[in-house]
Amino acid sequence: MTSLEHKAKALLELHRPGDPAVLPTVWDAWSANLAVSAGFSGLTMGSHPVADSVGRADGEGMTFLELLTRVKQVTEAVQAPVSVDIESGYGLEPAQLIEGLLDAGAVGLNIEDTVHSEGKRLRTPEEHADFVRGLREFADAAGVHVVVNARTDLFLRQDGDESDRVDRAIARLKLAAAAGADVLYPVGRHEDADMRRLTSELPLPVNAIGLPGLSDKATLAAQGVARVSFGPYLQFALAEEANRLLDRWK
């Protein structure tokens, strides 16, 4: 088993509903080392904090190459498996995305259904599932079970009527599951009943976003969550603390 295969297997095994893996969201080698030194066994790299770290805007304001440069710096700095937010794919084909991620040492990815390069339109459920299927096929062909985290932005975008939004998210993510996803990510902040419904009705482990200083791991575990990541919120929290320290010196 190659190092990448081993890391991909280890990352997938961390996902346990009711006993969630906390995968701190990092953006460079320093933040990655900080999280690993604190005892975490897997990491995520979020597009928003990575883009901030290179002076670009979130929403594919940076290029895939700029992202991969950061990814390689992280994977060379730490041995923990790393999953990368590739937004909606930077207008590239699944084969190009998988090849780039594996070359940079990553073994997981988030793929979202907002297409930033096309006016931020929402992919149809079938289109998103097809993209997931392509990612799975090319990862399998490369011999590494890249952990595919299929994300929907329905809640962030507040698309359509609220009354059936959970229904539509479940239907959309079930298609992604059937297409080869490993994890499902209905990104957003959810009421307890909605989160419990999502984790009970979706057929795969569910990713939830956590606020480092406010969210509670035990609560998310009780809701059936299998994976917790922080999006940009760890970076935001550290920025607040840095501003507090700097304010003393003005």
Going from N- to C-terminal start, the domains of the chain cover 3-247
Condensed to tens digits (0 to 9), the pLDDT of residues 57-111 reads: 999 999 999 999 999 999 999 999 999 999 999 999 999 999 999 999 999 999 9
Q: What was the pLDDT predicted at 121?
A: 96
Residue 115 host element (H or E): strand 114-115
pLDDT band at 171 (very low <50, low <70, confident <90, very high): very high
pLDDT band at 250 (very low <50, low <70, confident <90, very high): very high
Cα 121 to Cα 118, 127, 139, 195, distances in angstroms: 6, 12, 26, 25
Condensed to tens digits (0 to 9), the pLDDT of residues 183-197 reads: 999 999 999 999 999
Q: What was the pLDDT predicted at 236?
A: 96
Q: Indicate the average pLDDT of the chain.
A: 96
Bridging pattern class, strands 108-111 and 147-152 = parallel
Check pLDDT > 70 for residue 142: yes
Report the pLDDT averaged over residues 11-37.
97
Check pLDDT > 90 for residue 128: yes
Q: What was the pLDDT predicted at 53?
A: 96
Check pLDDT > 60 for residue 1: no
Check pLDDT > 90 for residue 175: yes
- Torsion-angle region of 224 (φ positive above 0: left; ψ -120 to 50: alpha; else: beta): left
| DSSP per-residue letters across 132-153 | HHHHHHHHHHHT---EEEEEE-
End-to-end CA separation in angstroms for the chain? 55
Check pLDDT > 90 for residue 159: no
pTM above 0.85, yes or no: yes
Enter the CATH code of domain 3-247. Answer: 3.20.20.60
Condensed to tens digits (0 to 9), the pLDDT of residues 185-233 reads: 999 999 999 999 999 999 999 999 999 999 999 999 999 999 999 999 9
pLDDT band at 2 (very low <50, low <70, confident <90, very high): confident
* Contact present, 105 and 63 (Cβ < 8 Å): no
Q: What was the pLDDT predicted at 196?
A: 97
